[in-house]
Amino acid sequence: MNQERVFKVLLGPHVSEKATVLADKQGQFVFKVATDATKLEIKKAVESLFNVNVAAVNTVNVLGKSKRTARGLGKRNDWKKAIISLQPGQDLDFASSAE
């Protein structure tokens, strides 16, 4: 996988209450990823960017909510999130790994 695709696959970490609990208790990390990214691409991108070994990748397609605006109904964009499980004994450190 070329370096340009790596940066297009991972869009950034997804920070929520559930994601924080997963990171603290189970060593799983949640990322917002491109909607066309496959599990294998996500695994290779995380391994190359953060120098860790990925045990499993679970993905969820999140549907955008319908919202009312002054001009009628609108819809937020659909997006995809990936839950990354690391090998035992490994940890992701966003501050020092992202250079």
Domain ranges of the chain: 3-88
Determine the Cα–Cα distance for residues 87 and 53; give it in Å rounded to an integer: 6
Q: To the nearest 5 percent, what fractions of the chain are helix, strand and coil?
A: 35, 35, 30
pLDDT tens readout for residues 4-53: 999 999 999 999 999 999 999 998 999 999 999 999 999 999 999 999 99
CATH architecture of 3-88: 2-Layer Sandwich (3.30)
**pTM for this one?**
0.86
pLDDT tens readout for residues 73-85: 999 999 999 999 9
Q: Which two tokens stand for residue 14?
A: 């997804």
Q: Do the beta carbons of residue 66 and residue 47 sit within 8 Å?
A: no
**Length in residues, the chain:** 99
